[in-house]
Amino acid sequence: MKLKKLKKFLKFIFSRPNVIFLCALLAGFIIPQASAITIFLILPALMAIMTITPLKIPRGFFRRVRPLISPAFKGNIMNYILLGNVIIFTGILFFIQEEAFWFGLVLVAAVPPAVGILALGKNLKADSTIVFAGFAGAHLGALLVIPLIGLGFLKYTELNYWLILVIVIALIVLPLVVSRVIVEREWDKKIETHEGVIIDACFFIVFYTITAKIRPFVIDWTLDMTKITFIAALSVFLIFFIFCKIARLTNAAESKTSAWLLLATMKNYGLAGGLALLVFSPEAAFAALAFAVVNFIYTNWLNYKKVFQGKTISAQDTPPS
């Protein structure tokens, strides 16, 4: 029995996403030279991820629009108004001094939910309607949110807004539309057999490049970087504990709690890091990587709690420190 549990635990620890992410970080630190090539691959890699991952949303899901309006709108509230504001205002509270690090923090707040919530939502048995509608709604909302946050918090900086607009459309709107065309025309079955390999390769390229580019700054660690890492942990786990407390007090359905929790605690950090490298500077990508590492710990903890231990998400527990 103990051997069976050990095998299950090792399978959980060495799952494919975990290995890919850790290998990308390790390779980025040990052999950063290849980032001179992969920087040119980061845009197509992100486009592939943003197109293939939403194929999990079933065919015909968006045909009945009316039931989806409420969860789509609430998805924007959870991901931008709640999580986004917590990130930005904790950044103000902790007084991030380095301009590039501040830009990176604003980018993290502005990007839509992580594509990983689609797979994680299935593992946690979250309400699929809320997850899918909230995910799609927040991605469409990004077209309004990203320019507004940019104008509000980066208005004194010279930015190429047309370049940002083109990149946002290429990485958010276009992939969502293309993924729907693929699903509705049943082309997704042809992609399905190679989906895992493509996604793994693209995730590796994205996080390897981000890590390699910020490696010199990590070596010369600063107080601002400590603050950003603390903000990443504080924002995610603070919202988690508040959600779980409310869920326990109101006896909210576990499936709905899990769905809203994912939308309220997870951003697309690969997208934020990619935008930082393409539009700003390597330093601006640090916030995305710091949040990605915290998210790695957070999602593994959620999976371990639900899948391995069999506990509900809102069950009283202590996260890893």
- What are the average pLDDT values for consecutive 10-residue runs of the chain, which has 321 residues? 63 80 95 94 92 86 85 93 93 88 91 90 89 91 78 63 76 86 84 87 96 94 94 93 87 88 94 90 94 94 71 56 46
Specify the 3-state DSSP secondary structure of 87: helix
Distance CA 319, CA 321 (A): 6
pLDDT value of residue 142: 85
pLDDT value of residue 296: 94
- Tell me if the domain spanning 20-308 has CATH number 3.50.50.60: no
Distance CA 230, CA 244 (A): 21
Beta bridge partners of 267: 113
Q: Which of 12, 40, 29, 64 is nearest to 217 (CA)?
A: 29
**Do you know the residue count of the chain?**
321
Q: In what helix (H) or strand (E) does residue 111 lie, and over which residues does it extend? A: none
Beta bridge partners of 113: 267
Query: Encoding tokens for residue 49?
Result: 């991820």
Question: How many Å separate Cα 167 from the centre of its chain?
Answer: 17
pLDDT value of residue 97: 84
Q: pTM (2 decimals)?
A: 0.89
Query: Residues of 152-178 as b/e, b for ≥16 C-beta within 10 angstroms?
Result: ebbeeeeeeeeebeebbeebbeebbeb
Specify the 3-state DSSP secondary structure of 267: strand
Specify the 3-state DSSP secondary structure of 113: strand
Torsion (CA) 282, 288, 294, 296 in degrees, nearest 10: -100
